[in-house]
Each structure stands twice: as structure tokens, then as C-alpha cells.
Amino acid sequence: MTRIILWRHGQTDLNKQRRLQGASDYPLNEAGREQAMAAAPRLAELGPHYIVSSPLVRARDTARELEALTGITAVEDPRVAERSFGSWEGQNLEEIAEHSPERLTLWRDGKEPGGDVETREACGLRVAEAINEWTEKLSGKAGNTLVIVAHGGAISNGIMTLLGTNPSERQPIAGLDNCHWAVLTRQKNRVPGWRLVSYNVN
């Protein structure tokens, strides 16, 4: 049985300010670094054999805390980067409401807002593709636990896709808190093969 641990990065200043980050690159703040340092030992106890990280610096800096404890070098995979929010990035909801109230209402209602915002379906498909591909690479190897360091939207959309749901057609599941994780397991020759074991754990 393969175990995938999806770990959201630590806090950034934009998280604290409740601004959308999306594909924009922002570092961890002091609280985020402390969160990563506190969470990494708990993840190390789960015995990861491989680490994959989003290339965005907030994820890479989070992954480094686990690298230091395990001696495992994280491999970057752009497919697990955060959902792009296009021109909305860097703004809070009040600012978006001033220029795009109709689109913001759609987004708050769990629908796609259109424009240059990446759809949840597109995000979920690329994340699920990455997880499936890395899972196949684990097949037949001695180690079967993989930690993927990623982002709230990428993780929730990827999970929905792996569980057979189009995230653009259903209400989204709430994103993970900073430096919390979800655990998925996969068993071959089972339908569905993926099982969500835990969510928002720290």
C-alpha cells in the first residue's frame, strides 16, 4: 500500500493578510518558519522515503525543514504548484469585490469565476497527474511513503480529482491550515484505488 502525505506550506505575510497568493512567489514569514520547524519532526516520524515539493519558495522552504531531519533531498515538481488566480493575486476579497463583484460572488458560491483564474478542474488534473506518476515510481520499491509539499488549493483540488470528483462541478472542500497535512493511501486492484485517511492533521 502506498501512502501519500500532502503537506501545506507554512504561513506567509499574504496568508496573514488574507490575500490571494496563487502562483505568485512569496516566502515564509517568521511564524511560517516556526510552523515548518515544529511540524517537520512529526512528519519525519512517519518515515517518508521520498519528498516532492512545489517550486514556489514558500513550499521549498517548508520542505527544507523535513530534508534536514531525514537527509532526503526534495524533488521539485511544478504540477503541484498552487492554483493560479491571475490578476487577483496579491489582493484581498474586499479589493476584488470593488472591480469584479459578479466574479467574486461566483467564486464564493463554489463556481468558477472565469477570467484569468485557473479552473479548479485544471488545477486538480495536474496535481492528480503528478501524484499518480510519483506513486507509480514508488511501485516495487522498498519505500512506499511520499511527502508532497504543496498548497491549500492545489491539495484540495488534487484530492477531489483523485477521489473521482470534478472539483469544478462540486462545492470545494476547505483548504488545509498552514503546515497541516492530509494522508491518502492507494491499494492496487481496488476501485476506487485512493482513500482519504485523514485531513488537516498537524
> Is 135 marked as a binding-site residue?
no
> Is 164 marked as a binding-site residue?
no
> Is 35 marked as a binding-site residue?
no
Sign, Cα dihedral of 78, 117, 161, 108: positive
Q: Name the catalytic one among 45, 49, 76, 82.
A: 82
Query: How many Å apart are CA 33 and CA 143, to the nearest integer?
Result: 28
> Is 15 marked as a binding-site residue?
yes
Strand 145-150's sheet: what is its strand order?
75-76, 50-53, 145-150, 2-8, 181-186, 194-201
Residue 22 corresponds to which amino acid? G
> Is 14 marked as a binding-site residue?
yes
82 is catalytic: yes
> Is 151 marked as a binding-site residue?
no
> Is 158 marked as a binding-site residue?
no
CB neighbours of 178 closer than 8 A, spacing ≥ 6? 8, 9, 10, 11, 15, 32, 35
Strand, coil or helix: what is 3?
strand
Just list the catalytic residues.
9, 82
| Residue numbers belonging to the annotated binding site | 8-15, 58
| Residue numbers belonging to the annotated binding site for substrate | 8-15, 58
